[in-house]
Amino acid sequence: MKIKDYFGKSISRQFVALLFFFSLLFLMGCAFLALSQKQLNDRYAEEREVILEKISITRELQDMLENALSEARGYFAFNNPDMRSSALKMDAKTNELIQQLKAVATTDEDAVLVEEIANFHSYYFQDILPKALNYFDEGEIDKVVKLSDDGGADRISHIKGSLHNYLQSMTNELNSLVNELDKNIIIFQISFLVYIIFIMMVIYFIGRAGLKKIGKPLADLSVAANEIAKGNDEQIKIDTKRADEIGKLSAAFYQMYQSVQDKEQNLLAQNEELLAQQDELHAQQIELEEVLETVRANRESLRRRNELINSISNSLDKNEVLESIITHLAAILQADRGIILLLKDQAYATYGIVEEGAEQFKNYVWQGMLDRLKKEKDPFIISREMVLAEKGYHLEKGFTHDLYIPVYNSDDEITAVMMLSRFSDPYSVFDKEEFIALAKQISISLDKIELFEQTENDRVLNYDILNTIQEGIQVVCGIGEIIFVNEKLEEMIGDTKETIFYPGCRWDEWKQPLTAHFMDEEGLLQYIEASIKEKQTDSYSAFMKDGRVINIYAEELYRGNTKFGTILVYRDITKEYEVDRMKSEFVSTVSHELRTPLASILGFTELMINRELKVEKQKKYLQTIYGEAKRLTSLINDFLDIQRMEAGKQTYEKKYIDLMPIVERVKEKLSINTSSHRIEINQLIEETMIIGDKAKIEQVLANLLSNAIKYSPDGGTIEINIYKENGQLRVSFKDEGLGIPKAEISKLFTKFYRVDNTDRRKIGGTGLGLSIVQEIMIAHDGQVAVESDYGKGSTFTLIFPLVHKMEASDEVSIENKQTYSIMVIEDDISLGELIVHELQDNGFQVVYYKNGQEAMQMLEKLPTDAVVLDIMLEDENFDGWKILNHIKESEKLRNIPVIVSSALDEKEKGLSRGAMDYLVKPYQTSQLSKTIMQTLLKMGKVGQVLIPEQDKE
């Protein structure tokens, strides 16, 4: 009874007991099945092991007998003693295997096989084999054969068959054992499945009993609870016999239900009393909400006013302030739209207004409204009927109230106008007083912004001025601390504001980094220190370590009568210094170069006047005088050339020319004056045609070859190489002379510059030759390059655009994608080819004739947009004037523009006869292209004509 009570008072104990019983039953079943499975597997493994051992021994016996027979036959066949010994040794091994098979024999079949093999072993190894070996050793082969025929071979075949049949029997027995194992496994699996089904049925009955004992009472309680929750009366059934948790829960739930019913009556009475109090509190809440809303509105208005004042007080950005003003005012005044406009610069900000409306206000505020504000000096309100755009979806009649507020500056002038529109209630008198107060606050802010902008503009202007000037500016206070440094000084010194030149940098921090860039650090430091302490009337020139020359002067800064700083001005006078140096050197050089030939001329002339000389002497003196005069002429020509080039007045007569004859002529002229130099010309390209001025190109070649000879005082080989590279024609002059230091190469083409070297000073020269060479090459769209190895020689290379000479035919016509057709009538083929080349490069289709009559015939047939006409043609009876007259008199051709290209300076005559323009030779061919393009534009030609930029004079 005690055990039943112990489990009856607790559902959990009942569940644990059932779980224990189920687990014990499950484990016992699993243990029985596992043990049965193990016994079955062990029996199968034991029987299988025995069968496999029999098979293994039998196969070894079979192999042993085969080997014995094989060795014996081998001995009989080959008479090999080793095989005889091997066959006899098989006796003992075979006997051992027979004993092993006998030990594992378990059936009658096994015993019969063992006895049969034993008999064969005795017969073969103890009887027939020894006899056969003896007969064979004695040479009685017939007796050996007779032993085989008398039954020996049959017994061997029989024993082999017996072994084979036994192995087959053992294999079949092994297969039968496997099949039996498979059947046992299937039976075991079916037993396990039946056991699982049995366990599941036990679980089902246990679960069903538990649900009936636990689930149904809980379901009844749940239904009762739901009914009670809905407010319905429900009868709760209590099983007084149950002492477990369900019984206790039912009793407790019943007691709770009785208690709730009792308290419900009390709560209903209290609820009626609370409802009465709630109505009273609700009335008080409405009054408090109205008061709170008023407080909130006042607080929000005050907050917006504070935000307005803070925003206009803390910012100096005009657009930001205007935006803040109109946004906050619209919120404070509960306006739906608004705008503020500055009258001075027309800056404005809007709230709820589109761009077109703002522009309309800007344009029309001057017409009436502004005049009224000036007269009344106070805000005013205009009420009007709403326009359609303001109504939205409202169909009834409505009014808009526009408020205009003037904003006065410190001079009592209107500086801004504000307009705010309200679509709901009109503005009150109290609002109007508030407008005036807000306008005063806004006025102060706008005055502050205007003052700031004026100050900022002045500051930026001064800053830009100081950064634009070419002098470096440094402002320091009385103790040497930096106040300001302009960008030019940073660029000049090579430092930045992040290193030493930043405002507030102390004297001890910047003096050493600044002076470290100069040669005389101590002298510069003393000058700057003295300038900071007292006024300096003198300037100071200092050499920088990179070769530049800086002039420094100081000026004191005063506020009133008090000195507060010093301005240090740094001027880069490197170019002026270099010009002065070069000018002095030039005067010295020119003096020497002019006086030396003049002295020779005067000396030899005086000798010829005052003495009687032989004819040979006179001729020699005259040749000397002639040579020195040519030297003077060349020197003067150099001066004139450089002056014309600087003035932009140097003219070039460009034609197709072949460089090779010019190079050979220059070599021939200059070779006469030297015997220690060997001049070689290496022509590495057949086509040496360029477009250029023949005389100027010869001057360039002569200058470079002359320099190569002069600056090779010890003689040597001078190579002149003519070759093509990168689509360009190149002429190089390579000597074995003094060479040029690398640091001097960049200055070689500077006017009057000469390398400062004693050996070169002895050679002489003006320093103009290379400068002239460079100018001429630039004019020919080329360049000059230098390579030098100091002490070993130099190479000067002239680079020309490579051109191909056109065939000297009477007609040149190229058809491509060009737009306009130009006819060129010119009797000089070289100049004609130059003009054709220029026009084609600028996108024209060109037809060229040198014969005037033929050109006129083709002009009647070919569509032509313009004509380039030479006046003096090869046919004197049909010159350019006749062609021009014919064109202008022809109804068909009179509208074709004619540009005259002639050596005759008769511009007025040409223009009066109908020419569109008149170019006097020589002129730049690019000028002709520009003239034709401009002419076609003026004529209104259809299409697109591109005009290049005019050359800067």
CATH number at residue 349: 3.30.450.40
Better-scored residue on pLDDT, 551 or 431: 551
CA distance 601 to 73: 139
Q: For residue 381, what are the domain limits?
A: 315-452
- What are the C-alpha distances in Å from 197 to residues 23, 38, 191? 15, 23, 10
User: What pLDDT, on the 0 to 100 scale, is given for residue 253?
Assistant: 66
User: What pLDDT, on the 0 to 100 scale, is given for residue 815?
Assistant: 40
873 with 849, same domain?
Answer: yes
885 with 854, same domain?
Answer: yes
The pLDDT > 70 percentage for the chain reads 81
Better-scored residue on pLDDT, 206 or 183: 183
User: What pLDDT, on the 0 to 100 scale, is given for residue 807?
Assistant: 42
Q: Which residue has the tokens 């490579």?
A: 802
Q: Could you tell me the pLDDT band of residue 425, with boundaries at 50, 70 and 90?
A: confident
Better-scored residue on pLDDT, 151 or 539: 539
Residue 480 lies inside a defined structural domain of this protein: yes
Q: Could you tell me the pLDDT band of residue 143, with boundaries at 50, 70 and 90?
A: confident
User: Which range among 235-239, 310-314, 848-852 has the greatest average pLDDT?
Assistant: 848-852
Sign of the four-CA dihedral 119, 121, 122, 123: positive
364 with 428, same domain?
Answer: yes
Rounded mean pLDDT, 557-573: 86
The three-state secondary structure class of 113 is helix
Closest CA to 439 of 408, 401, 404: 408
675 with 815, same domain?
Answer: no
How many C-beta atoms surround the C-beta of residue 193 within 10 A?
10
Residue 483 lies inside a defined structural domain of this protein: yes
Joined tokens for residue 792: 């070993």
Residue 269 lies inside a defined structural domain of this protein: yes
CA distance 266 to 261: 9
CA distance 180 to 701: 119
Residues 6+ apart with CB under 8 A from 239: 217, 246, 247, 250
Give the pairing of strands 793-801 and 348-351.
unpaired
Q: Among 521, 547, 572, identify where a domain stops.
A: 572
46 with 127, same domain?
Answer: yes
Residue 743 lies inside a defined structural domain of this protein: yes
The three-state secondary structure class of 269 is helix
CA distance 752 to 585: 8
Provide the domain count of the chain: 6
Model pTM score? 0.39
Digit-coded pLDDT (tens) for 284-324: 788 878 777 777 766 766 676 666 666 666 666 777 888 88
Rounded mean pLDDT, 631-644: 71
Range with lowest mean pLDDT among 586-590, 820-824, 944-948:
944-948
34 with 183, same domain?
Answer: yes
CA distance 42 to 28: 21
Q: Among 508, 542, 572, identify where a domain stops.
A: 572
42 with 159, same domain?
Answer: yes
CA distance 618 to 607: 9
The CATH number of residue 711's host domain is 3.30.565.10
**Taking 50 as the threshold, does the pLDDT of residue 241 lie above it?**
yes
**Taking 70 as the threshold, does the pLDDT of residue 649 lie above it?**
no
**Taking 90 as the threshold, does the pLDDT of residue 395 lie above it?**
no
CA distance 143 to 861: 136
Q: Among 773, 801, 829, identify where a domain stops.
A: 801
User: What pLDDT, on the 0 to 100 scale, is given for residue 824?
Assistant: 93
Residue 604 lies inside a defined structural domain of this protein: no
SS (H, E, C) 526-564: HHHHHHHHCCCCCCEEEEECCCCEEEEEEEEEEECCEEE
Digit-coded pLDDT (tens) for 764-817: 566 677 888 888 888 888 999 999 888 888 999 999 987 765 443 333 333 433
**Taking 70 as the threshold, does the pLDDT of residue 738 lie above it?**
yes
Q: Could you tell me the pLDDT band of residue 952, with boundaries at 50, 70 and 90?
A: very low
550 with 418, same domain?
Answer: no
CA-angle at 72, arms to 67 and 76, nearest 5°: 145
Rounded mean pLDDT, 582-604: 71
Torsion of CA 249, 255, 257, 262, to 10 degrees: -160
User: What pLDDT, on the 0 to 100 scale, is given for residue 397?
Assistant: 73
Residue 738 lies inside a defined structural domain of this protein: yes
Closest CA to 479 of 372, 566, 365, 557: 566
Q: Could you tell me the pLDDT band of residue 948, with boundaries at 50, 70 and 90?
A: very low
774 with 855, same domain?
Answer: no
CA distance 918 to 921: 10
CA distance 247 to 239: 6
User: What pLDDT, on the 0 to 100 scale, is given for residue 314?
Assistant: 64
In this structure, are residues 587 and 603 in contact, taking their beta carbons and an 8 Å threshold?
no
430 with 538, same domain?
Answer: no
51 with 119, same domain?
Answer: yes
Residue 138 lies inside a defined structural domain of this protein: yes
Digit-coded pLDDT (tens) for 67-111: 878 887 787 777 788 887 887 778 788 888 888 878 778 788 788
Q: Could you tell me the pLDDT band of residue 945, with boundaries at 50, 70 and 90?
A: very low
Rounded mean pLDDT, 276-280: 81
**Taking 50 as the threshold, does the pLDDT of residue 759 lie above it?**
no
Rounded mean pLDDT, 219-239: 65
Residue 601 lies inside a defined structural domain of this protein: no
CA distance 760 to 109: 131
User: What pLDDT, on the 0 to 100 scale, is given for residue 734?
Assistant: 92
Give the pairing of strands 793-801 and 728-734.
antiparallel
**Taking 50 as the threshold, does the pLDDT of residue 499 lie above it?**
yes
374 with 355, same domain?
Answer: yes
